[in-house]
Structure 1
Amino acid sequence: MKKIKLAVVPGDGIGTEVVPHALKVLDTIAELHGGLSFEYEHFDYGCDYYLEHGAMMAEDGLERLGQSDSVFLGAVGDISKVPDHISLWGLLLKIRREFELEINVRPAKVFEGIRSPLLNPKDFDLVVVRENSEGEYSSVGGRMYQGENEIAIQNNVFSRRATKQAMEHAFELAKSRRQHVTSATKSNGIFHSMPFWDEVFKETAQKHRGIETASQHIDALAATFVTHPERYDVIVASNLFGDVLTDIGAAIMGSIGIAPSANLNLNGKHPPMFEPVHGSAPDIVGKGIANPIGQLWTAKMLLDHHGEGEMGTLLLDTMERVTADGFLTPDVGGDKKTGEVTEELIRRLREK
C-alpha cells in the first residue's frame, strides 16, 4: 500500500471550505485505486491563528510541515484581520522560501463547460513555469529619507543557478507536451537582469535542440495571451512576469477559481506545496458557493507529482465532464453550491 502523507493547511476564507471537499475527492481516488492511501495532518495556521498567537504559524511550524510528503494549502490572507504583508510573508512566502520551493508551475487550458471570456479561445492549453524564489520579489532594498525626499529601492536578484533551474524544468516539461518553450523577457527595457535572463535561456536551449524556442517581451506576450493563447505551450518566466501571466491565464479560462498551481522543491530536501491560484475571497465566505475546481485541479497536480498520473488524468477528465454537464458555481455562470459540484464529481468517479 502506497501512503502519501499530506500536511493540510486550509488557511483562510474559502480555503477552509474547498479543502475539505478536495480531501473527500482524494479519499475517493484512493478507494478506487486500491493501492493508495492518504494520511492527513491538519494545521490551523492562518489569520485567525495570528490573532490568537501573534504569528501566522507555530514556532516549529516549518519543522512539522516538513515531515509530510507534500503540503496541501487552501488560501492565505484576510485583510480585515491581518495586513497582507504580514499574512503572506508569515505563511505562504515563508513556506516557499524556507522549503526552497524555487519552481512554480501553473497550467491554463480551455476547461470544458466553462465559458472563456475570449470570443474564440481555440482550445488553448499552456503551462507557465515561474521562477519562484528571487527575481523581482527579492527582499533586497529599503527606504530612506522622509517627505518629498523619501526614496524606495527594490533590487531584483537573478542568480544563474535559479534562472537555469527554472528553464531546465520548462524544457523537460515541454518534452512531454508540444515541444515548445517561450521565454518571457524585457531586455529592451531592463538593462541588467533581462539580458542576463536571455543569455541563460539561449545557453539552456542549446542543450535541448529538439525543442523549439521563442523569446518574447512581456508586454507583447501578455497581449498575445489574450489574443492568441493557443500559440503557447510552455512559458518560462521570472517571479513577477510569471505571476502576472498566470493571472491572465486564469482569467482567460473563465475564473481564477479554477486555476491550480504546484510549488516544487527540486533538491529533495523539503516537501512540495500545492495550492490553488485563487485567494481567500472573503466576500463569499460562508455562502457555500466557492468554486472547488481550483483546489481539485491542484489535487490532480499533487497526484501527478507523486507518480499517480493515471488517477490524476481520471480526476481532471471527470471534472471536465461534470462542468460540461452544467455543474457550475456562480463565478462561472452556474447556480450550484460547492458541495453539489464535489458530490457529483465523487458520484461519477465511483461509476468508473
Structure 2
Amino acid sequence: MTDTRTLNLAVIAGDGIGPEVVAQAERVLDAVADLEGFTIDKTPYSLGAEHWLQTGETLSDETLARLKEHDAILFGAVGADPRSAEIPSGIIEREVLLKLRFAFDHYINLRPARFYPGAVSPLSHPGEIDFIVVREGTEGPYAGNGGVLRAGTEHEVATEVSLNTALGVERLIRYAFQLASTRERKKLALIHKTNVLVNAGQLYSRIFEEIAAEYPEVHTDYCHIDAATIYLTNDPQRFDVIVTDNLFGDIITDQAGAITGGIGLAPCGNINASGEFPSMFEPVHGSAPDIAGQNKANPIAAVLAGALLLRHVGLPAAAQRIEDAVEHVMASTPQTDLGTDEVGQAIIDRLT
C-alpha cells in the first residue's frame, strides 16, 4: 500500500562538506519519496560556524522551538577550520550539536556498523560485519557535571563526573533489547567496565539482567570495554547489538566505523524514542573543511543517515530501497572513481 503522508523535515546542512553531502542525501530522499508515494516538506536552517561568524548566534531558543515542530532533522556537520582563531574552541559543537541532543532528549545514539561490498577495511580478513551500537546519549561524563578549581595554578583540580540514572539506563537497555529481538541473530552485548567502575557498572549490569528476563529469546553477553576493543578487531562477528554508556559508545563506534571502511561511510541516529521530540540523523565524519567545495566528500554516510531517518518515522520500505541502492553502488563502482555529485547520482540511478 502506498504511503501518501507528508514528512515535515528540518535540514541543518552546517559547515564544510556538510552542505555538499546533505544535498546528495536530499536528492536521494526526494527520489525515493517519488517512488514510494510520500512527500517531503523540507525547511532549511542556517546553523554552525559560518552562521556564528555572520550573526554571533549559535542556537537560539526561537530556532529550537521551530525545530521542535518537525517530524525529524537531517543534520550535516558543524565546525570551522580548527586553525581559525575567530571561533572559540568547541563553542559550535557544544552550543549547537550537543544543545540539540540534550534539548530534544536524544537518549539513544544509534550507530549501525556494516561492511558493505567494495569498502576497504584495515582488518586482514574482515568477513561479514553487521552490528548496531546503541549508545546512551544524554548522561555519563558528557552530562556536564564537573568543574575546575584553582585554574592555572599547580594546585588546579579538574573534575568530570559521570552521571548515570536508573531512568536513563533502563530506557537505553530496554530499547536495545527491543531492537535485538527484531534481528535475525537476536544477540545483545553489554559493554562497560564493571570491575573498576563499580557504581555505574552495577547499575548497568543489574538493570540489564532484570530486562533480560523479559526477553528470553535474546542471547546476552558482557564485555569489559578494553576487551571489547580487541574483539572488534579480532572477532567483530561476535557482535549483533551492543549497548553501552555514552563515553564507551563514543570510542567503540569510531572503531566500528574504521573496521567497516571508515567513518566516511558511517551514519548515526540521535533518537528520542518516546516521540516527544524530533530525532536527528547525521553522518559522523565531521565538517572536513580541508576538502570542502572540491567534490571529494563521500555522501554515502549522509545518504544512509537519510535511510535511518525514514526507518525511524515508519517508512521501512523506502529505507530499504536506499540501503539496497547504496550496496549496489558500493559493490559495482570504486568510490575513488566518483565525486560527491556522481555518487549521489549513481544511487539515484539505481533507485529509479
Report the TM-score when normalising by structure 2: 0.95
Checking the alignment, whether the CA contact within 8 Å between 2:32 and 2:321 is kept in structure 1 is no
Checking the alignment, whether the CA contact within 8 Å between 1:50 and 1:57 is kept in structure 2 is no
Distance 1:84 1:103, change over 3 A: farther
| 2:198 aligned counterpart, secondary structure | coil
Distance 1:33 1:327, change over 3 A: farther
> Which amino acid is the alignment partner of residue 20 of structure 1?
A
Paired residue for 1:195, among 185, 189, 202? Answer: 202
Is 1:151 the counterpart of 2:151? The answer is no
For residues 254-294 of structure 1, the C-alpha deviation after alignment (integer angstroms, 9 at most, x for no partner) is: 11111001111122221111111111111111111101000
Unmatched 5+ residue regions in structure 2? none
For residues 163-186 of structure 1, the C-alpha deviation after alignment (integer angstroms, 9 at most, x for no partner) is: 011100110000111111000110
Paired residue for 1:27, among 20, 26, 30? Answer: 30
**Offset at 1:314?**
1.3
Percent sequence identity over aligned pairs: 38
Checking the alignment, whether the CA contact within 8 Å between 1:55 and 1:90 is kept in structure 2 is no
More relative contact order, 1 or 2 (CA 8 Å, 6+ apart): 2
**Offset at 1:84?**
4.2
| 2:154 aligned counterpart, secondary structure | helix
Q: What is the CA–CA distance in structure 1 between the aligned matches of 2:250 and 2:224, rounded to whole Å?
A: 15
| 1:204 aligned counterpart, secondary structure | helix
**Offset at 1:189?**
1.5
Spell out structure 1 runs of 4+ moving beyond 3 A: none
Q: What is the CA–CA distance in structure 2 between the aligned matches of 1:52 and 1:58, rounded to whole Å?
A: 14
Who is 1:56 aligned against?
A: 58
Q: What is the CA–CA distance in structure 2 between the aligned matches of 1:279 and 1:349, rounded to whole Å?
A: 27
Unmatched 5+ residue regions in structure 1? 329-333
Paired residue for 1:132, among 98, 117, 137? Answer: 137
> Which amino acid is the alignment partner of residue 139 of structure 2?
E
**Offset at 1:97?**
0.3
> Which amino acid is the alignment partner of residue 305 of structure 1?
H
Who is 1:206 aligned against?
A: 213
**Offset at 1:7?**
0.4
Q: What is the CA–CA distance in structure 2 between the aligned matches of 1:293 and 1:315, rounded to whole Å?
A: 10
Is 1:225 the counterpart of 2:227? The answer is no
- After alignment, is 109-118 or 224-233 more displaced? 109-118
**Offset at 1:222?**
1.1
Checking the alignment, whether the CA contact within 8 Å between 2:129 and 2:260 is kept in structure 1 is no
Who is 1:117 aligned against?
A: 122
Is 1:161 the counterpart of 2:167? The answer is yes
Q: What is the CA–CA distance in structure 1 between the aligned matches of 2:316 and 2:143, rounded to whole Å?
A: 34
Paired residue for 1:8, among 11, 17, 21? Answer: 11
Q: What is the CA–CA distance in structure 2 between the aligned matches of 1:66 and 1:138, rounded to whole Å?
A: 21
Who is 2:310 aligned against?
A: 303
**Offset at 1:55?**
2.0
Paired residue for 1:215, among 217, 222, 237? Answer: 222
Checking the alignment, whether the CA contact within 8 Å between 2:269 and 2:280 is kept in structure 1 is yes
Q: What is the CA–CA distance in structure 1 between the aligned matches of 2:89 and 2:323, rounded to whole Å?
A: 32
Checking the alignment, whether the CA contact within 8 Å between 1:128 and 1:235 is kept in structure 2 is yes
**Offset at 1:151?**
0.7
For residues 220-246 of structure 1, the C-alpha deviation after alignment (integer angstroms, 9 at most, x for no partner) is: 001111111011000001000111111
Who is 1:244 aligned against?
A: 251
Q: What is the CA–CA distance in structure 2 between the aligned matches of 1:155 and 1:143, rounded to whole Å?
A: 12
Who is 1:341 aligned against?
A: 343
Cα RMSD (Å): 1.1
Distance 1:3 1:323, change over 3 A: same
Checking the alignment, whether the CA contact within 8 Å between 1:261 and 1:274 is kept in structure 2 is yes
**Offset at 1:327?**
4.4
| 2:256 aligned counterpart, secondary structure | helix
Paired residue for 1:85, among 79, 90, 94? Answer: 90
Distance 1:84 1:211, change over 3 A: farther
| 2:287 aligned counterpart, secondary structure | coil
Report the TM-score when normalising by structure 1: 0.95
- Number of equivalenced pairs: 344
For residues 57-108 of structure 1, the C-alpha deviation after alignment (integer angstroms, 9 at most, x for no partner) is: 2341110111110011001212325344211111110000000111111000
Q: What is the CA–CA distance in structure 2 between the aligned matches of 1:141 and 1:304, rounded to whole Å?
A: 37
Checking the alignment, whether the CA contact within 8 Å between 2:11 and 2:73 is kept in structure 1 is yes
| 1:301 aligned counterpart, secondary structure | helix
Who is 1:316 aligned against?
A: 323
Q: What is the CA–CA distance in structure 1 between the aligned matches of 2:217 and 2:118, rounded to whole Å?
A: 35
Checking the alignment, whether the CA contact within 8 Å between 1:27 and 1:38 is kept in structure 2 is yes
Q: What is the CA–CA distance in structure 2 between the aligned matches of 1:236 and 1:123, rounded to whole Å?
A: 20
Checking the alignment, whether the CA contact within 8 Å between 1:106 and 1:259 is kept in structure 2 is yes
Checking the alignment, whether the CA contact within 8 Å between 2:79 and 2:287 is kept in structure 1 is yes
Is 1:66 the counterpart of 2:73? The answer is no
**Offset at 1:335?**
2.8
